Amino acid sequence: MTTTERTAASYFLPSDEPLGLVTADGTPTPDPALAMPADDVLLRLYRGMVSGRRFDTQATALTKQGRLAVYPSARGQEAAEIGSILALRPQDWLFPTYRDSMAVVARGVDPVEVLTLLRGDWHCGYDPYRANVAPQCTPLATNTLHAVGFAHAARVKGEDTVSLVLVGDGATSEGDTHEALNFAAVWKAPVVFLVQNNGYAISVPLEKQTAAPSLAYKGVGYGMPSVLVDGNDAAAVHAVVEQAVARAAAGEGPTLIEAVTYRMESHTNADDATRYREKAEVEQWLTRDPISRLKQYLTDRGLLDDKAQQEIDARAEEEAAALRERMNVDTELDPADLFRHVYAEPTAALRQQAAELAHENTEDQA
């Protein structure tokens, strides 16, 4: 359906049920508005999700070994994380949150650099300009505005760059989300907002977060197309994000996508999810697992056999082993770094304080 065939209302309103291409048991459900990704893309999505989950379990293990101070798991959200990242073009930018380490790694950032934040060594361990990934954002929703500004600047400069911003369900209650949606729509900025609705903002469930029929409705009032998609269906997430990116790149403005998914683990390793959700609910979501779903579909189609599966698993295992080994190296931090990146040039007061600290440290060693 082209935009001109739609009335304003039908154009902006999300569907009542999440869009999908593959059901929970791996059965294809073609959608005329949504093209099934090509076979090679589906295989890349699958490999990415297997690697992503292995990264996630490795990072969780590193918290138990004391190598990471904290880790917010994205287990269960692989389809949303990988499905969206693989829909980006090289020149596009990602504006992730703290939970999106898996997406940042999938975008090409060194996993050790990604985990520098959570290890406690520095607030952002990677150069944002190397893989076009903004620093992972800890305050909720503030990254939405950065994405809009970045995208607007790209248009001003005549560059074909789309911003993809990731937020969770809790962030949709923050003022910045609303300001960002409004600015993006008014400016027709090339931005894709992807809300990963994983059911809980730490312990607060969706019904206490919003009274809207779905979070996708948040885009309607701002005047942008709003899409509700099955967030555990990597093919569908990839298809809707790819459409939204193409729409943004064509100068048609922003899109809001709600991907309905579930956070299988606690908010972080420090949280106790049994205090606020039932075991039965978690188990019910296990039957909708994004990885086994795509695996079933690919196997049924003859695109994935045991040999290929073994290769994919082996590669994910190698990546995890390499990460583990590199994370087990003790890092040495230079206290003088405290003063180096506050201003372009340290102020007189900072130079003085750096000297005081150096003196303090020399006395400690003496």
Q: Would you count residue 59 as binding other proteins (CB under 8 A)?
A: no
Judged by CB under 8 A, the residue of 68, 118, 151, 164 near other proteins is: 151
C-beta closer to other proteins: residue 342 or 355: 342
Shortest separation between residue 186's beta carbon and other proteins, angstroms? 6
Q: Is 6 in the active site? A: no
Q: Would you count residue 251 as binding other proteins (CB under 8 A)?
A: no
Q: Would you count residue 180 as binding other proteins (CB under 8 A)?
A: yes
C-beta closer to other proteins: residue 127 or 311: 127
C-beta closer to other proteins: residue 26 or 149: 149
Shortest separation between residue 170's beta carbon and other proteins, angstroms? 15
Q: Would you count residue 337 as binding other proteins (CB under 8 A)?
A: yes
| Crossing angle between the packed helical segments 39-64 and 111-119, to the nearest 10 degrees | 30
Q: Would you count residue 248 as binding other proteins (CB under 8 A)?
A: no
Judged by CB under 8 A, the residue of 332, 348, 362, 365 near other proteins is: 348
Q: Are 215 and 197 in contact (CB under 8 A)?
A: yes
Judged by CB under 8 A, the residue of 183, 200, 262, 297 near other proteins is: 183
Q: Would you count residue 347 as binding other proteins (CB under 8 A)?
A: yes
Q: Is 263 in the active site? A: yes
Q: Would you count residue 322 as binding other proteins (CB under 8 A)?
A: no
Q: Is 267 in the active site? A: yes
Q: How many residues bind other proteins (CB under 8 A)?
A: 41
Binding mask 109-148 vs other proteins (x if CB under 8 A, - otherwise)?
Answer: -------------xxx--xxx----xx---x--x-xxxxx
Residue ranges that bind other proteins, judged by CB under 8 A: 122-124, 127-129, 134-135, 139, 142, 144-154, 156-157, 161, 163, 175-176, 179-180, 182-183, 186, 337, 340-344, 347-349
Q: Which residues are catalytic, by number?
A: 263, 267, 276
